[in-house]
């Protein structure tokens, strides 16, 4: 539809995310990437892909339609591989700033594709201030925090509460603000959809499945997040506090943790960066290319015919027993929808674990499929 084409056209031109809203710790446990693995991954902001580096797979092909996100992914991966000082690495990506960003970013990007080097030569100033405050999502969340009157101390108080009291706090503090007419209008605006990476195709599926309007959906989403271990939930910290919980080493994305950083320094993984559509990357590849596919929630953005084409290309390019990870706002199984059960097997054990433990609570399902032999 025209609205979705316009959405993608705008989305691909803007710096939207600086953090990936998917639980990379869950992905790490269920994918079991090893030294013989080859991965095709839609990157988003790159936290998940950067977290694969310490497993030293044979190859990672990172793809995204947004050049800002792909360039940030490359910076995170390269930083994990070559910044020997953990403090310097964590300051850059955990705290989001550098004392001399021009010099540091130039050192990190040396050896990356020329377009990525040019990109960061023009955008290194993002690290003069915490880059977690930059990007469309971060700016929208900053506005929302001011409207709601919440900050890191408010969030710390919430952490100390029981789940029931957290839900009561949301009802008493958050819900009245979200129900104000101007806030509702904002939540239903195209700007907000772009900022949270929800295109119209996905919005229609999300609200149709949930049977809610967008305001009620966000309130119920906050309550789902409130039921998690908030002390270690870096999505909650990022959203409400606008920063990571630097006092708890387990409360940051895995790639930022000291043990992963130490192992990433020894990684010899080969990484290819593809600015474009995943279908183009799939079509250009031969059989037996990848052992793992991580798709984010991209299938939710796609019309049904494109979903089916993508799955056919995955089956064609997959190594025997390859795993496919996707997140969705729907209840339906994409393989059953397209009658592809002869080519993909739903790994119910892994899918149930991932859905239950993903702390973003943003998706109704986290599905893991295995390509049939």
pTM (2 decimals)? 0.95
pLDDT at 234 over 70: yes
Topology of domain 2-129+252-371, CATH: Rossmann fold (3.40.50)
Q: Which two tokens stand for residue 318?
A: 């997959």
Sheet architecture: strand order including 59-64: 270-275, 59-64, 38-42, 290-294, 318-328, 365-371, 344-346
**Among 44, 93, 22, CA closest to 244:** 93
What is the predicted pLDDT for the residue at 1? 66
Residues 89-124 pLDDT 10s = 999 999 999 989 999 999 999 999 999 999 999 999
Break the chain into its structural domains and give their ranges: 2-129+252-371, 136-241
Q: What is the mean pLDDT of residues 249-275?
A: 97
Do 77 and 282 contact (CB within 8 A), yes or no? no
Other beta carbons within 10 Å of 295 = 22
Q: Which of 102-106, 184-188, 231-235, 322-326 has the lowest mean pLDDT?
A: 184-188
pLDDT tens-digit map of 51-80: 999 999 999 999 999 999 999 999 999 999
Q: How many C-alpha atoms does 32 have within 13 Å on its Cβ side? A: 6
Q: What is the mean pLDDT of residues 305-311?
A: 97
Write the CB contacts of 78 (distance below 8 Å, at least 6 apart in sequence). 108, 109, 111, 112
Query: Any idea what the Cα angle at residue 367 is, between residues 363 and 371, rounded to 5°?
Result: 155
Rg (C-alpha) for the chain, rounded Å, is 20
Within 8 A by CB and 6+ apart from 31, the residues are: 292, 294, 323, 325
Percent pLDDT > 70 in the chain is 99
Whole-angstrom Cα distance, residue 98 to residue 101?
Answer: 5
- Look at residue 168 and tell me whether its pLDDT is greater than 70: yes
pLDDT for the residue 200: 81
CA-CA distance, 102 to 338, in Å (whole number)? Answer: 49
């Amino acid at each position: 539809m025209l609205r979705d084409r316009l959405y993608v056209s705008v989305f691909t031109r803007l710096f939207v995310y600086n953090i990936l809203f998917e639980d990379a710790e869950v992905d790490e446990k269920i994918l079991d990437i090893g030294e013989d693995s080859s991965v095709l991954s839609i990157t988003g902001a790159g936290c998940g892909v950067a977290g694969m580096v310490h497993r030293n797979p044979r190859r990672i092909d990172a793809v995204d339609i947004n050049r800002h996100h792909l360039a940030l992914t490359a910076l995170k991966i390269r930083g994990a591989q070559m910044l020997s000082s953990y403090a310097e690495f964590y300051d850059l990506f955990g705290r989001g700033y550098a004392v001399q960003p021009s010099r540091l970013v130039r050192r990190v990007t040396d050896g990356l594709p020329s377009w990525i080097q040019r990109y960061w030569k023009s955008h290194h100033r993002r690290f003069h201030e915490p880059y977690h405050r930059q990007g469309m999502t971060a700016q929208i969340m900053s506005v929302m925090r001011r409207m709601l009157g919440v900050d890191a101390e408010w969030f710390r108080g919430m952490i100390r509460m029981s789940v029931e009291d957290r839900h009561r706090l949301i009802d008493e503090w958050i819900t009245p603000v979200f129900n104000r007419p101007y806030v509702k209008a904002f939540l239903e605006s195209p700007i907000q959809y772009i900022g949270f990476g929800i295109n119209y195709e996905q919005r229609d599926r999300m609200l149709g499945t949930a049977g809610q309007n967008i305001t009620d959906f966000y309130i119920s989403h906050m309550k789902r997040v409130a039921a998690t271990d908030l002390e270690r939930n870096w999505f909650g910290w990022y959203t409400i506090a606008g920063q990571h919980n630097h006092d708890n080493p387990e409360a940051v994305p895995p790639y930022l943790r000291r043990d992963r950083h130490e192992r990433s320094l020894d990684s010899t993984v080969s990484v290819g960066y593809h600015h474009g559509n995943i279908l183009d990357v799939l079509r250009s590849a031969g059989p037996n290319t990848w052992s793992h596919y991580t798709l984010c929630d991209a299938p939710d953005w796609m019309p049904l015919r494109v979903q089916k084409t993508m799955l056919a290309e995955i089956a064609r390019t997959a190594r025997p027993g390859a795993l496919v990870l996707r997140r969705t706002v729907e209840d339906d199984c994409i393989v059953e929808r397209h009658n592809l059960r002869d080519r993909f097997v739903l790994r119910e054990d892994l899918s149930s674990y991932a859905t239950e433990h993903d702390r973003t609570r943003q998706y109704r399902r986290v599905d893991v499929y295995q390509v049939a032999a």
